[in-house]
Amino acid sequence: MLLQMNSITKSYGNVTANSNVNFTLQKGEIHALVGENGAGKTTLMRILYGMESPTSGEIVLNGKPVTFENPTDAIRHQIGMVHQHFMLFPTFTISENIVIGREPSKGIGFDRKTAAMETEQLGKQFGMPIDPWKKVADCSLGMQQRVEILKVLHQGAEIIILDEPTGVLTPLEVKELLIAIKTLASQGKSFILISHKLQEIMDVADRITVLRDGKVTGTVFSKDTNAEQLSRLMVGRDLIHISRNATEVGQAVLDLEGISVRGSKTKPLLSDVNLHVNEGEIVGIAGISGNGQSELIQAISGLLKPDEGMIKLLGQDVTGAPVGAIRQIGLAHIPEDRYQWGVAKDATVTENGLMGHTGKHQKYGVLGGQGIRQMVSEWVERFGIKTGSLSTKAQYLSGGNLQKLIVARELAQKTPFLIAAEPTRGVDVGAMEIIHGELLKKRDEGGAILLISSELTEILKLSDRILVMFEGMIVGELNAAEATEEHISLLMAGGRAVG
């Protein structure tokens, strides 16, 4: 056995993040670690990578017990980690990013030529070609992921920890990454893969360990299991299969006519977008991120003034109206980037929940008492938001829990129209189920929802109608009943709609 983590326990005060966790890894194995947000996956890996020290338990590497004081120790023992949020230097070149910490040198000088040669060679050797002189800031996220993996390989890692590696990648990049992982594993590298996405894990992993509330609820071979069993182990109960009831589609709530946004570059960001969302309908917008979805959201919510066209909300012309006015008329907005648009990191859970609800809880301009805490604590309960208390700062919540808070807050606006952009990004299956359920409930009650997601499965599961965006244009419209993943993928990649 290459690596054994024996009865690892980690507690912070009276919170136990890991309790008696056993985890093993063999040479050349891909071992997936799954579990809900806050189940203790990341803590366990931070212990392995020397970023935290366990309260009790031991790590045995190649038969010898080891302790890591810091990541440098772990790297020295050939353990490497690719973090969920990339640890890259955007203004540096690819080769600089890969060799940093162990730079080839001539005297005190940094030999960049040798570095470039080394890294190019490394890329070829592991089947991940790169352009060593390119700046990381100019690379796609998929390429950045590749740089991260090569960096870890350059450090000489035999065990590679990947924390949520596919979260930000396009479907094609995901495919490439999974192939690369398999190739590397066949060359003798071992992988620990943290992920939410059960399908990917079933595809790539040899063994799967499931964590729930800091405890191991099962370690299974992927060939002996299925997604249902895994979900059960993760959530502790069977998932309810959400079914969509047919609803009567009412009047148009949102109406976009010929919206265009010129970018600074030659290509327009949005060109002649026409769409409408009716009462009791979820309209899904599929597309690889960066094809105008962000601009579309910003145009509708009033953050960006379109250069041409008209936006009507509930029959009123809101083109270029202030954000506050549009929200007043009837818009709620689950933003795509929760840290940039969704929360204030230094504010508490209560304060973040109160945003946009201040009108209801004030008297003569003074915010009032019990109602606020009651409102937020009710959300915390209903959505199962894991937080220390209502006065915990938002930055200490995990991404998934923060997302749940935002969804709860925006749904509570009870507006006729809702923009849901990437509503379940980085959220575990249990929470995803809750959020999907709430969105469908809103639809059943006659709400109009515009769903923007880069997850095709989500689009297919929730939408009544599906629009596909490519390079700022709507290139296809499909009915939920007739849409297939293949068809949408083709449109997303710029293939023209046929029939």
Partner 1 sequence: MDQIFDVSLFASTLRMITPILLAALGGAICARVGLFNVGLEGLVLIGAFSAIVGNHFTGNVFLAVLFAVFCSLLFSILFGYMSIQLKANVIVVGIALNFLALGLTTFSLRAVFNVKGAYYNKDMVGLPKWDIPVLKDIPWLGDVLSGHSPLVYLSLVLVVLLQLFLFKTVTGFRLLAAGENPTAAKSLGIKVTRIQYGAVLMCGVLCGLAGAQLSLGNVTMFTEGMTSGRGFIALVATMLGQSNPLGVAASSLLFGFMDALSIRLQGFALPTHFTMMLPYIVTIAAMLFFKDKGYMQEARKSNESSR
In the complex, the residues that contact partner 1 under the rule CB under 8 A are 51, 70-72, 75, 81, 83, 87-92, 96, 100-101, 103, 105, 108-110, 345, 395
What one-character DSSP code corresponds to residue 135? B
What lies within 8 Å, CB to CB, of 403 at 6+ separation is 338, 342, 423, 424, 425, 426, 427, 431, 435
Q: For residues 190 and 350, what is the distance between their CA atoms, to the nearest angstrom?
A: 43
Residue 486 burial by CB count (10 A; 0-12/13-18/19+): exposed, middle or buried?
exposed
Cβ proximity to partner 1: between 101 and 236 the closer is: 101
Q: How far is the CB of 137 from partner 1 (least distance, A)?
A: 9
Q: Are 301 and 323 in contact (CB under 8 A)?
A: yes
> Cβ of residue 98: shortest distance to partner 1, in angstroms?
11
Please report how close the Cβ of residue 346 comes to partner 1 at its closest, in angstroms: 9
d(CA 320, CA 99): 48
Shortest reach from residue 87's CB to partner 1, in Å: 4
Shorter beta-carbon distance to partner 1: residue 152 or 492 = 152
Question: Smallest distance from the beta carbon of 141 to partner 1, in angstroms?
Answer: 16
261 bridge partner residues? 270
Min separation Cβ 119 and partner 1, Å? 15
Nearer to partner 1, 115 or 296 (CB): 115
Q: Which is nearer to partner 1, 109 or 359 (CB)?
A: 109
- The distance of Cα 98 from the centroid of its chain, to the nearest Å, equals 25
Sign, CA torsion 102/107/109/112: negative
Q: How far is the CB of 224 from partner 1 (least distance, A)?
A: 36
C-alpha 338/C-alpha 60 separation (Å) is 39
Q: How far is the CB of 91 from partner 1 (least distance, A)?
A: 6
Task: Give the integer Cα–Cα distance in Å for 459 and 479.
Answer: 12
**Which lies closer to partner 1 via its Cβ, residue 93 or residue 453?**
93
Q: What is the closest distance, in whole angstroms, from the C-beta atom of residue 339 to partner 1 in the complex?
A: 10
In the numeric block, which tokens belong to residue 375?
Answer: 């409102």
Q: In degrees, to the nearest 5, what angle opens at C-alpha 430 toward C-alphas 425 and 435?
A: 55
CB neighbours of 57 closer than 8 A, spacing ≥ 6?
A: 5, 6, 7, 8, 9, 20, 21
**Single-letter code of the amino acid located at 460:** L
Nearer to partner 1, 150 or 376 (CB): 150
Q: Which of 369, 441, 370, 384 is nearest to 412 (CA)?
A: 441
Q: What count of Cα atoms within 13 Å lies in the side-chain half-sphere of residue 65?
A: 3
**What stretches of 268-325 adopt beta strand conformation (E)?**
268-278, 281-286, 308-313, 316-317
CB-nearer residue toward partner 1: 175 or 393: 393
Q: Which amino acid is at 183?
A: T
Tokens 């009710």 found at: 378
Shortest Cβ 85–partner 1 spacing (Å)? 9
Q: Nearer Cβ to partner 1, position 115 or 456?
A: 115
Q: How far is the CB of 120 from partner 1 (least distance, A)?
A: 19
Which lies closer to partner 1 via its Cβ, residue 81 or residue 452?
81
Smaller CB distance to partner 1: residue 81 or 210?
A: 81
Q: How far apart are CA 488 and CA 478, in angstroms?
A: 9
Of 92 and 341, which CB lies nearer to partner 1 in the complex structure?
92
